[in-house]
Amino acid sequence: MKELEQFGERLRRERIAQHHRQAELAALAGVSQDALSSLENGRPVTTQTLVRVLAALGFDHAFSEMLPEAVPSPIDLQKLEGKQRQRVR
């Protein structure tokens, strides 16, 4: 998959820019060097590996910024409306 290869290359460049060897970054992230190598070469890895490597590089905010917060659907909002407190007794 072309996107994985491009992402892996960007990750490799960032690792080098931060002056980390593969073994060093893998140890910081708590993953194997083979897993990091797979990620950099565009091969599929687990989400946990990806998150750990991004966190070790200082990009632990990447996933929280990737997708917007879930917004309640209009139906859910309508259901909640009827349950809101109207007065204090």
**Domains with residue ranges and CATH for the chain:** 2-66 (1.10.260.40)
Position 26 scores a pLDDT of: 97
Give tens-digit pLDDT for 7-42.
999 999 999 999 999 999 999 999 999 999 999 999
pTM (predicted TM-score): 0.73
From the CB of residue 45, how many other CB atoms can be counted at a distance below 10 Å? 20
Cα–Cα distance, 28 to 41 (Å, whole number): 19
Contact residues for 64 (Cβ-Cβ < 8 A; gap 6+): none
| DSSP run (H or E) holding 65 | helix 62-66
Strands of 1-89 (E only): list them.
none
Position 84 scores a pLDDT of: 57
Give tens-digit pLDDT for 67-87.
777 787 877 777 777 665 566
Average pLDDT over residues 45-69: 88
Position 54 scores a pLDDT of: 94
Q: Is the dihedral of CA 71, 72, 74, 77 positive or negative?
A: negative
> Which has more pLDDT, 69 or 50?
50
